[in-house]
Amino acid sequence: MYGNDFAASGGELLDQVADAERELRAAADRSVRGGSDEETYFTELVAADQKIEPRDWMPDGYRKTLIRQIAQHAHSEIIGMQPEANWLTRAPTLKRKAILLAKVQDEAGHGLYLYAAAETLGVSRDTLYDLLLAGRQKYSSIFNYPTLSWADVGAIGWLVDGAAIVNQVPLCRCSYGPYARAMIRICKEESFHQRQGYEILYTLAHGTPGQKEMAQDAVDRWWYPSLAMFGPPDTDSTHSAQSMAWKIKRFSNDDLRQRFVDMCAQQATVLGLTIPDPDLRWNPDRGAYDYTAPDYAELMEVIRGNGPCNRARMANRRAAHEDGAWVREAAAAYAAKHAAPAAPTAEAVHA
Ligand SMILES: [Fe+2]
Ligand SMILES: [Fe+2]
């Protein structure tokens, strides 16, 4: 796709091909449009639902918005491994453990695709890590809640990965090419994550009364934090209007939240579990479910760093970063060794 999917030896060649194609496209466009400026060209590309690519001119604000959003997304994937990793050693069966391992590894992969996408905007992965560790970039507030029982793994898959899908499917059509392409791959894997969570909850909900109770308790605790994943209400959303004009964001926070509620309300019935909202009911006039909004004051508190697990998550992340220093050093030394000109072989010396 891009970034580290290219073999090192082929990368240069692909870059040259991309450069040549871009030159041709620019020349053709100049002749058609009579040399209008870069900003007009950018606006026209976005309006025509074409993709902006890394070497295209883009407004500073567009670049900054994308870096902030993609970095926050990448950090969320990496930090998001922690709540479920808590249950890797306690999964109830070998099969469940293998599935959960695969899922947690997928999340690490999502982080890597996204850091690679952010790097195409001219910021290094190291810089983004530093900003996260210094608390200057955020990750999704949902990962600051604890996983108290095995059913939480099911609730995370069903609700948290489910909310991620609703949020991220429109991003597959985002105006920035590398981000949009990364999202296509990520969304395919998120679908598997959501299914596995749903299946865990279905199994528990159709098991013993104790298991059903455990599943219901997990849904009770994860429902409102999952609704809050869509961000503040549209009336308070600071970045939304500009992001929608740039086609980074395609739907408003409240539209996406509604779509998620409508999806879950029906799935809960099949699960045999109750969504913890006494006011949840179908509204035929709106063609959608009415529901109780999450506690946005709680969301802001968690974003400010005062959720139940913020400090533990960041402490773990810092420790993992420090413990991994030797891996980064070894990888850099290995890359440097292979980049250096090869020493002459014995045959070449004696020829
Ligand atoms: Fe993910
Ligand atoms: Fe996921």
Cβ(226)–Cβ(156) under 8 Å?
no
3 state SS of 258: helix
Centre of ligand 1 from the C-alpha of residue 190, in Å: 6
> What is the rounded CA–CA span in Å between residue 111 and residue 106?
9
Q: Which ligand is nearest to the CA of 113?
A: 1
Please give the distance, rounded to the nearest whole angstrom, from the Cα atom of residue 25 to the centre of ligand 2.
Answer: 37
Spatial CA neighbour of 29 closest among 44, 12, 51: 44
Q: Which of 83, 224, 76 has the alpha carbon at shortest distance from 139?
A: 76
pLDDT of residue 16: 55
Tell me which residues have their CB within 5 A of the ion that is ligand 2: 161, 190, 193
Query: In this predicted structure, what is the pLDDT of residue 62?
Result: 96
- Per-residue confidence (pLDDT) for residue 341, from 0 to 100: 75
Q: What is the pLDDT of residue 3?
A: 27
Nearest to 200 by CA among 161, 159, 165, 155: 155
Neighbours of 218 (CB within 10 A): 27
Q: Phi and psi (nearest 5°) for 288?
A: -155, 165
pLDDT of residue 236: 83
CA 252–ligand 1 middle distance (angstroms): 21
CB atoms within 10 A of CB 318: 12
Distance 266 CA to ligand 1 centre (A): 24
Ligand 2 center to 276 CA (angstroms): 23
Q: State the Cα angle at 332 between 329 and 334, rounded to 5°.
A: 110
CA of 81 to the centre of ligand 2 (A): 9
> How many residues are given for the chain?
351
What pLDDT sits at residue 238? 72
- Dihedral of the alpha carbons of 91, 94, 96, 98, in degrees to the nearest 10: 110
pLDDT at residue 23, rounded to an integer: 59
Which two three-digit tokens encode residue 310?
């913020």
Q: pLDDT value at position 20?
A: 56
**Can you give the pTM of this predicted structure?**
0.84
> For residue 164, how far is its CA from the centre of ligand 2 (angstroms)?
7
Please spell the DSSP secondary structure of 144-207, one letter per residue.
GS---SHHHHHHIIIIIIHHHHHHHTGGGG-SBHHHHHHHHHHHHHHHHHHHHHHHHHHHHHTS
Q: Count CB-CB contacts under 10 A for residue 333.
A: 10
Cα dist from 296 to 115, 227, 233, 261, 301, whole Å: 29, 10, 8, 17, 9
- Residue 176: beta bridge partners? 52
The ligand with the least distance to the CA atom of 182 is 1
pLDDT in tens, 138-154: 999 999 999 999 999 99
CA of 44 to the centre of ligand 2 (A): 34
Q: Chunked in runs of 10, what are the mean pLDDT values of the chain (351 residues)?
A: 30 54 55 64 92 94 96 97 95 97 96 97 96 94 97 98 95 96 94 96 98 98 97 84 89 95 96 97 97 94 93 96 95 92 65 54
Q: Ligand 2 centroid vs 185 CA: distance in angstroms?
A: 12
CA of 243 to the centre of ligand 2 (A): 24
